[in-house]
Amino acid sequence: MVQQVDVLICGSGSAGLCAAAWLARTGINCKILERSSGPMQLGQADGVQCRTVEVFESFGLAEDLLKAAYHVLEVAFWSSDAEGNLVRTNRTADTMPGLSHQPHVILNQAHINGFLLHDMHRSNGQKVDYGYSVKNVQVDSTAAAQQDAYPVTVTTEKDGVEEVFNAKHVLGCDGAHSSVRRSLGYKMIGDSTDAVWGVMDVYPRTDFPDIRRKATLRSNSGNLLLKPREGGSLARFYIELPHGTDSKNVRLDDLHHAARQIFHPYTLDIADTFWWSAYSIGQRLADHFSKDNRVFLTGDACHTHSPKAGQGMNVSLQDGYNIGWKLAAVLKGRANTELLKTYNLEREKVAADLIDFDRSFTKLFSSKSSTTNGHGPEYFAQQFIKSGQYTAGLTAKYEDSMITSASLSRQELAKGLVIGMRFPSAQVVRFCDAKAMQLAKALPADSRWRVVVFGGNLQNRANAERLNKLAAFLSSSAGPVLRFTPANNDIDSFIEPILVLHGSRVQIELEQIPTYFWPVTGKWRMRDLHKTFVDDESYNSGHGHAYEKYGIDVDEGAVAVVRPDQYVSLVTGLDNHEAIGQFFAGFALRPVVAA
């Protein structure tokens, strides 16, 4: 019997679980088919970028992640000196201070997947169906044009028995050898270099002083990237193997031997090897990322690259994060199906940038390049530091589309809130209870859009008037809030207002704040006072200087429209009501009124 499902996710790796976790939070149940017999036990990836930690924060999972992980705060650079001794040539902050309020951390991929599995189960009981191998995916392109159709046929096999599903939407999250991609006839385009690297997770007994610090070792005997692992004992070594090595012929002994040579004159005795592998580096991109706006490829299914830069799991998770909220919006009838097309527009560019970055990063690391171009250890350290913003996951900038509008914006009003980039956090003080907190905490992944209003100092009468007028517009039938929020839902359920004032918090009284920013909501129909913040000194945590960070003039203010995935869509003035209305009208659907 053919089963019908709204969303079918092929593969429960990083990308699939992240998309599923988002859908589960909105109450959408999907079918997740996984070839393995159970959850991942031993992961390959371990580097978690600042942006991925921010994503986990938006899911309310960052505390658990940060507690379990190794925090990468510093990186040390080691090279052979003229006498051939290994010496530390430099050290620096791993992530440039101020890039993100979250750190770069290291944690096993299986553990990370576990957080998402737990979260989606807690949200709506969502589970993974193990032991299903997806064999074939076909789309009926004619039927795909009808919104309510189930045009995708997915053929699977479990215990030798064929099972067929019809789905509205399918996510191909089935990794580098994706069956979904192959069924659609899509190809991976790119190259495979001849550089071979070995990777091993080991328990090292050594007198090397930086064994608990991230370090690059460029010795006369070869190159090694050291990443300490969570738990205090384990460390990961990425080792460049000699030119011409065939990855299939690499033995664990070869890796142990190479590591000992590179660490010399420090001693290295490997007490145990937890996991190891050898691979050749290839950078490839799928020639298409989607089919008929119904099937979407994510993660390694559409981009592969070397693991050394620690990007694959992160970009894959973020692919899932991107398609997750969009699918939820379309399935819930909140947005036009055209919204799904922005997945390709946004993530294809991110994937292409990833491949370019990986090529240059791999070249930077390879000893072949360092000996031929004559650059010394200082150059290497500088380039490594320069790539920090990229490796932190903070360079993605989405182009204009129905949900990102530089053309309707006045970027000059808030230069630090770049349209198309993720909303950077700053510390502010919550008005209702004086709690110092990161503004990012006010932007959880709950599918709501946010109008973040920087109203300036209310002691300035012009500011107060502008704010009152904006609040009146946003709560009127002419504004997008009432227009796109179903009548029986809370007024902040589709677009949530966030107000950030400037100046002395204790001089502001609640009555000065328009009631639109403290609406009556929830089961108990109480006023929600948690949406107003002040850029002011806090009792114990100093001043966040949010206006300064965002480049906002306190006398002029600004409005930022922020997407459910925390990217900035629009920046405009408090009196430009038209731009705000026009922006939402570009993609949002009016609620259907029951007859």
Ligand X SMILES: Cc1cc2nc3c(=O)[nH]c(=O)nc-3n(C[C@H](O)[C@H](O)[C@H](O)COP(=O)(O)OP(=O)(O)OC[C@H]3O[C@@H](n4cnc5c(N)ncnc54)[C@H](O)[C@@H]3O)c2cc1C
Binding site for ligand X (CB under 6 A): 10-16, 33-36, 44-47, 109, 132-134, 173-175, 179, 199, 277, 279, 299-301, 307, 310-314, 316
Q: Do 351 and 285 meet the contact criterion of CB atoms below 8 Å apart?
A: yes
Question: What HEC string does 446-499 produce?
Answer: CCCEEEEEEEECCCCHHHHHHHHHHHHHHCCCCCHHHHHCCCCCCCCCCEEEEE
Amino acid at 140: D
Which residue(s) pair with 4 in the sheet? 166
**Maximum pairwise Cα distance, the chain:** 85
Please pick, among 25, 46, 51, 186, the residue that the annotation labels catalytic. 46
Residue 15 or 351 with smaller CB distance to ligand X: 15
Rounded Cα distance, 306 and 321, in Å: 22
Q: What are phi and psi of 484, to 5 degrees?
A: -110, 5
Q: Do 65 and 48 meet the contact criterion of CB atoms below 8 Å apart?
A: yes
Residue 10 or 139 with smaller CB distance to ligand X: 10
CB of 45 to ligand X, least distance (A): 3
Residue 144 or 313 with smaller CB distance to ligand X: 313
Please pick, among 238, 390, 398, 547, the residue that the annotation labels catalytic. 238
CB of 39 to ligand X, least distance (A): 9
CB of 236 to ligand X, least distance (A): 8
Query: Could you tell me whether strands 303-304 and 427-430 are parallel, antiparallel, or unpaired per DSSP bridges?
Result: unpaired
Helix 461-474 / helix 577-585 crossing angle, nearest 10 deg: 30
Please pick, among 307, 377, 480, 514, the residue that the annotation labels catalytic. 307
Q: Do 368 and 243 meet the contact criterion of CB atoms below 8 Å apart?
A: yes
Residue 266 or 279 with smaller CB distance to ligand X: 279
Residue 87 or 189 with smaller CB distance to ligand X: 189
Three-state secondary structure call for residue 384: helix
CB of 488 to ligand X, least distance (A): 38
Q: Is 563 a catalytic residue?
A: no
Which residue(s) pair with 571 in the sheet? 560
CB of 105 to ligand X, least distance (A): 11
Please pick, among 25, 181, 218, 229, the residue that the annotation labels catalytic. 229
Q: Which tokens is 442 given? A: 């006010």
Q: Is 103 a catalytic residue?
A: no
Query: Could you tell me whether strands 214-219 and 74-80 are parallel, antiparallel, or unpaired per DSSP bridges?
Result: parallel
Listed residue (10, 5, 2, 4) closest to 183, CA to CA: 10
CB of 246 to ligand X, least distance (A): 17
Residue 131 or 416 with smaller CB distance to ligand X: 131
Q: Which tokens is 107 given? A: 């944690």
Which residue(s) pair with 199 in the sheet? 238, 277
Residue 13 or 564 with smaller CB distance to ligand X: 13
Rounded Cα distance, 442 and 138, in Å: 41
Q: Is 307 a catalytic residue?
A: yes
Q: Is 46 a catalytic residue?
A: yes
CB of 422 to ligand X, least distance (A): 17
Residue recorded with tokens 């100093």: 542
Three-state secondary structure call for residue 161: strand
Which sequence positions are flagged as catalytic? Answer: 46, 229, 238, 307
